[in-house]
């Protein structure tokens, strides 16, 4: 039997997974044996799995049980499939993506009943995501009671930011209560940071902005491959326009909605998290592909606003870095939409960025011209690799210093 680590990323309507073989290679990377997802949970669930060489191993509708098919059922289905298809592997740990680690967690942590209640206390800070991560932990702990469950946090990577980048202009005692900027998408940024030397060489330790543009979207400014600033703050609402989230908003709008529109806090939360962003502005869809294919003026305006917010926030992060050496695009939109990358890059000429249009059309990886003072790249993210690696590191830490009393 060989040891392996299962990485789980439970989102609002999907569960993504990857199984990684131990031990790690010399560069610290873990070889991925299989990865896949169940998407369409609650609507039309569909399971797919891909092998190490990119071959399709499964692609099945699981729609006949759609009504009861929740996250727990999705994880059970995945585990049953893995037991059948990975008979030579023994799971040494399961790593989970957990969106919010608050002030408490700066590193992956083994889940205990105490940790679980601490994660539950953070649900209101990430209502769209945190409950699914917790549900994933519960489901797998029930099925695999002897396998360590390890939480890996999207906020942890940003703990290196200088104090001033984490502060709101609120009374000091509120910062002490944990009301401050945390930043998210940290597992993705950590992966990109680990890949930068391969692409940028010595520039990788310079001033880099990574644009994680997916259904959720944010930017992160890196120096020395560490986070120094990001567009997301206390919750995953701040910053860029997203699929269904509003991004940066005058807090006075929230007061107005409550006082003048008589909305409850639940209604405001639902508006800002689920009915805003590309969906709210276009009135059509949260999916950029649908908007790009549409001839509705409102769809075009939603895309204009998406690009405008990216360009403005890029300027802000470039100012925080004191200039820019490289820009990296990643995630669903960043990796796949030449159109969005072109529009963003063409508005960054003032920073010295020169786009190589032909390279951009084929998704790079290098999409700036050879003489561009600011280099530009497309690098695919791999959050599951970071989750698996984080789970392994936590296992090794625990083995090196077992808790007292054991």
**Residues marked as catalytic:** 154
Inter-axis angle of helices 130-143 and 113-120, to 10 degrees? 160
Interacting residue with ligand AMP among 287, 346, 356, 393 (CB under 6 A) = 287
Is 288 a binding residue for ligand AMP by CB under 6 A? The answer is: yes
How many whole angstroms separate alpha carbon 348 and alpha carbon 369?
13
* Three-class SS state of 48: strand
Shortest Cβ distance from residue 245 to ligand AMP (Å)?
Answer: 12
Q: Which two tokens stand for residue 278?
A: 């590309």
Stretch that binds ligand AMP, among 191-199, 226-234, 281-289, 394-402 (CB under 6 A): 281-289
Site mask for ligand AMP (CB under 6 A), range 320-339, x = bound: -----------xxx--xx--
Q: Which residues have a Cβ under 8 Å from the Cβ of 307 and sit 6 or more positions away? A: 340, 343, 344, 347
Determine if 73 is a binding residue for ligand AMP (CB under 6 A). no
CB of 186 to ligand AMP, least distance (A): 15
Q: What is the rounded CA–CA span in Å between residue 395 and residue 173?
A: 36
Per-residue contact string for residues 226-265; x = within reach of ligand AMP by CB under 6 A: -----------------x----------------------
Residue nearest ligand AMP (C-beta atom)? 332
Specify which residues 98 forms β-bridges with.
153
Q: Which of residues 89-128 bind ligand AMP (CB under 6 A)?
A: none
Residue among 172, 152, 117 at smallest CA distance from 9: 152
Cβ closer to ligand AMP: 98 or 278? 278
Window contacting ligand AMP (CB under 6 A); options: 232-240, 284-292, 305-313, 317-325? 284-292
Regarding 214 and contact with ligand AMP (CB under 6 A), the answer is yes
Nearest residue to 6 via CA among 15, 399, 17: 17
Instruction: Determine the interface stretch with ligand AMP among 133-141, 198-206, 282-290, 321-329 (rule: CB under 6 A).
Output: 282-290
Q: What is the CA radius of gyration of the chain?
A: 21
On whether the CB atoms of residues 113 and 25 are closer than 8 A, the answer is no
- Give rounded-to-5 percent helix, strand, coil for the chain: 45, 20, 35
Residue 134 CB, shortest distance to ligand AMP, in Å, is 20
Judge if the upstream peptide bond of residue 292 is cis by omega within 30 degrees of 0.
Answer: no
Number of residues that bind ligand AMP (CB under 6 A): 11
Instruction: Give the range of 249-257, 260-268, 287-295, 344-352 binding ligand AMP by CB under 6 A.
Output: 287-295
**211: which strand partners?**
219, 329
**Residue 218 sits in the site that holds ligand AMP (CB under 6 A):** no
How would DSSP label each residue in 169-219? Answer: SS-HHHHHTT-S-----HHHHHHHHHHHHHHHGGGGGSEEEEEEESSSEEE
Taking the complex as a whole, the smallest distance from the CB of residue 13 to ligand AMP amounts, in Å, to 11
Residue 47 Cβ vs ligand AMP, minimum distance, rounded to whole Å: 17
Q: Which of the ranges 64-72, 283-291, 300-308, 369-377 carries the binding residues for ligand AMP, by CB under 6 A?
A: 283-291
Tell me whether residue 53 is exposed, middle or buried, using C-beta atoms within 10 angstroms of its C-beta: 0 to 12, 13 to 18, 19 or more.
Answer: exposed
Could you tell me the smallest distance in angstroms from the CB atom of residue 369 to ligand AMP?
Answer: 23
Contact between 215 and ligand AMP (CB under 6 A)? yes
Output the CA angle 309-313-318, nearest 5 degrees.
150
- Report the interface residues with ligand AMP, using CB under 6 A: 214-215, 243, 287-289, 331-333, 336-337
């Amino acid at each position: 039997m060989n040891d392996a680590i299962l990485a789980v990323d439970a989102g609002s309507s999907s569960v993504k997974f990857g199984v990684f073989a131990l031990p790690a290679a010399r560069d610290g990377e873990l070889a991925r044996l299989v990865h896949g997802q169940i998407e369409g949970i609650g609507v039309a669930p569909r399971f797919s799995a891909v092998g190490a060489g990119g071959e399709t191993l499964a692609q099945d509708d699981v729609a006949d049980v759609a009504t009861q098919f929740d996250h727990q059922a999705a994880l059970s289905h995945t585990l049953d499939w893995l037991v059948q298809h990975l008979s030579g592997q023994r799971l040494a740990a399961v790593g989970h993506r957990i969106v919010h680690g608050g002030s408490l967690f700066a590193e992956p942590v083994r889940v205990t009943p105490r940790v679980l209640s601490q994660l539950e206390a953070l649900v209101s800070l990430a209502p769209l995501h945190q409950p699914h991560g917790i549900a994933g932990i519960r489901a797998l702990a029930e099925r695999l009671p002897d396998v360590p469950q390890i939480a890996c946090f999207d906020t942890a990577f940003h703990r290196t930011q200088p104090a001033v980048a984490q502060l709101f202009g609120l009374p000091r005692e509120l910062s002490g209560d944990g009301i401050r900027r945390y930043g998210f998408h940290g597992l993705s940024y950590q992966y990109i940071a680990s890949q930068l030397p391969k692409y940028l060489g010595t520039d990788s330790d310079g001033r880099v902005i990574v644009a994680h543009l997916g259904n959720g979207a944010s930017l992160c400014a890196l120096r020395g491959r560490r986070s120094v600033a990001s567009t997301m703050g206390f919750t995953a609402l701040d910053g860029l326009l997203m699929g269904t989230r509003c991004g940066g908003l005058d807090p006075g709008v929230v007061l107005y909605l409550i006082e003048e529109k008589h909305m409850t806090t639940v209604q405001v939360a639902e508006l800002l998290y689920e009915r805003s962003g590309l969906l709210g502005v276009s009135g059509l869809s949260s999916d950029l592909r649908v908007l790009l294919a549409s001839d509705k003026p409102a769809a075009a305006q939603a895309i204009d606003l998406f690009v405008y917010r990216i360009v403005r926030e890029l300027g802000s992060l470039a100012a925080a870095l004191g200039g820019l050496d490289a820009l990296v695009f990643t995630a669903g939109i960043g990796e796949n939409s030449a159109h969005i990358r072109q529009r963003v890059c063409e508005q960054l000429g003032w920073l010295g960025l020169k786009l190589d249009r032909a390279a951009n059309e084929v998704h790079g990886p290098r999409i700036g011209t050879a003489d561009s003072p600011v280099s530009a790249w497309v690098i695919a993210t791999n959050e599951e690799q970071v989750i698996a690696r984080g789970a392994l590191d936590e296992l090794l830490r625990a083995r090196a210093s077992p808790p007292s009393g054991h």
